[in-house]
Amino acid sequence: VVDLFSGAGGMSLGFEQAGYDVVAAVEYDPVHAATHAFNFPECEVLCRDVSKVSAADVLAAAERGFKHLHPGVPWPSRLDALIGGPPCQGFSAGGKRERDDERNDLLLEFVRLVEELQPRTFCLENVAGLLEAKFDDVREDAFARLRKAGYSMSGTDKPVNSLNFGVPQSRRRVIVLGAHDSDAPARPVTVEGEVSVQEALDGLPSPAAYAALLNSDEVELTHQDAKRRAETSSAYARRLTGLEPLPNDKSRPRLWNPSLLTGSRRTIHTTETIQRFASTDRGAVEPKSRLYRLPLDGPSRTLRAGTGSERGAHTSPRPIHPQEDRVVTVREAARLHGYPDWFRFHTTNWHGHRQVGNSVPPPLARAAATALLGSLGYSPVALRAAVPLGHVSLLALSRSKAQPVVDALVEQMPATRTRKPVIRLAGS
């Protein structure tokens, strides 16, 4: 499988857990490409703009990744699946929902690569807004081209909600699955019950107890906190912590240090902000910041990503912790998304929260991947050889420093933020 618009790798992880080899990923932002390389060190990361990538480029990257994963095994020269979630802000309720947003064109770039590569199956993820009447033209153009290319599809009529796939977060998404010269793939299978915020965050210590987290996103757990985490009662949290195996997980185990708390850089709030957070009930919105306070006994609302530097670099709106008067950490957001604790994000809060909020929850991706296995006729086996993660320096790179590391082309990188000059009056 090749993951287009891969970001940090939520879709990649879900497909790997279902039993796929993610041989290549295409991501145009060097910061996110470096994060993907850290978490998937055996995957070939192609840091390129998808609209400027040819089918030959993708296939060559896939071949390199396949040979790295399976030395000595002949390259099959065809993909079992092409997957991806084209940037969706043009269709999103969180954006301006503009018909002419140029990011909408990236949906058709995904279609182009499906047409040219002819993978056996594909998985297209997008926001529920894609199905709105105002986007009929671009959506129907995309679906018509995919049908003409020989694909039968499911999921084109209604969105799914990640709540129904074991994710403690309400997140409505369109999951279109396609199979070449075959019947339409089965829809992803839902699971019973919901996971609460309390279950998701179980075992995570308060970052306020660690002064080191003022300047770093990682710290060694105290003996007491390590013991408390080991005694976590939530099955959901125990699986993400690695205390219990994820049922039917076929991903390669990662070598990591469970005694290290990561993704937990602290956010400093003013006294006034803390007071406002303290007066906000669980499940309510704080009036001034418009930040939502998480409940304990229910799921979270949708985690949002903010905007990239090319769109003004707006910070993602982070929910307020349900028990502490602060916003959540990246690790806590990752728990609400279904990421295991070994999975790491950029060390800054701005990039880290964007990477979580932009990604497909791995449990949802895994359900989609499992559904596609029926069209492929495969029953993958687990490959249990452990894989070391990448070098931690990959998680702290600025865009300019990441560019040569991931071999990004400067002319294809996201535009940098343009700051307006600040004019100060005398005496101010």
Question: What angle is formed at CA 361 by the lines to CA 356 and CA 365, rounded to 5 degrees?
Answer: 140
Report helix, strand or coil for 418. Answer: coil
The full DSSP string for 186-213 is PPPPP-SS---HHHHHTTPPPGGG-GGG
Which phi-psi region, left, alpha or beta, contains residue 263 (left: φ > 0; alpha: ψ -120 to 50)? left
Strands (E), 36-171: 44-46, 81-84, 121-127, 151-154, 160-161
Q: Parallel, antiparallel, or unpaired: how do β-strands 24-26 and 81-84 relate?
A: unpaired
Residue 88 annotated as catalytic: yes
Alpha helix locations (H) across 19-97?
30-39, 55-69
CA distance 115 to 151: 10
CA distance 178 to 147: 9
Beta bridge partners of 177: 123, 154
Q: Which one is catalytic: 43, 47, 88, 123? A: 88
If you search the block for the tokens 């926001």, which residue do you land on?
127
Q: Which residues are catalytic?
A: 88
